[in-house]
Amino acid sequence: MVCAGGMMDGYAFTAHDQVFATGQTGNVVRLALATSLLDPCSFLRYFIPIVSFIMGIILSRLVSSRCFHGRQDQMQSWVIDFEAITFAVIGVFADYIPDVLSDCLIASCAAMSFENFRELGQGSRYSSTYCTGNLRSFSEALYEGTFEHEPSELRRALHYLALIGSFFIGVVICSYFVERIGGSAALLISVTFLLARLFVDGWLSGGLASE
């Protein structure tokens, strides 16, 4: 999921005129700059993905509450399916979908991933769509393991480092393919989500079997 998060951001940034899809801090900064320059076109360009991210969170909560009654396992599977279908559509119709619509769809998908994939093992939280929180958790675990002599924290630090590396690799891979095949690279993100579905289903079934 973290690799897919990196691919989403790499795709939006390289294929859609440097708009951030996942972590919205960059869009908020650019929105503020557009406001200071009294540039309404740029304002809308960054405002719309922010609103789409908010709507993605709201939609996610509604589906979880109304359709799955808080069952996290079913909700996670639904989110992955939704995102795989969404990016397949974006990839197939890349030449026909306006950038602003693609940005809205990607930001909404990023919000759903961010909302529904938060736990890494027991007691460890992570983000599948941006790196700041993961970098903080990595640094804290590295401190605890190095200076407080907690071996388990060093292992935890390695887990967070692997997450950051996965995000990095996702950005690299998707940017590479965008440069070569354009918007159709979204199909690669769809395939990545389908692979993630296999992993999540296996993890859930293993976890349920052990209970």
Is residue 208 scored above 50 in pLDDT? no
Paired strand residues for 125: 119
For the stretch 113-132, pLDDT in tens is 999 988 765 557 788 888 88
Average pLDDT value for residue range 179-199: 91
pTM of the model: 0.86
For the stretch 24-42, pLDDT in tens is 888 899 999 999 999 999 9
d(CA 119, CA 73): 12
pLDDT at residue number 209:
40
For the stretch 139-150, pLDDT in tens is 999 999 999 999
Helices 151-181 and 132-147, axial angle in degrees (round to 10): 150
pLDDT at residue number 16:
75
pLDDT at residue number 180:
93
Stronger pLDDT, 133 or 201, i.e. the higher one: 133
Which are the contacts of 201, defined by CB distance < 8 A and separation ≥ 6? 77
Number of other CB atoms surrounding residue 38 within 10 Å: 8
Whether the CA torsion 164, 165, 170, 172 is positive or negative: it is: positive
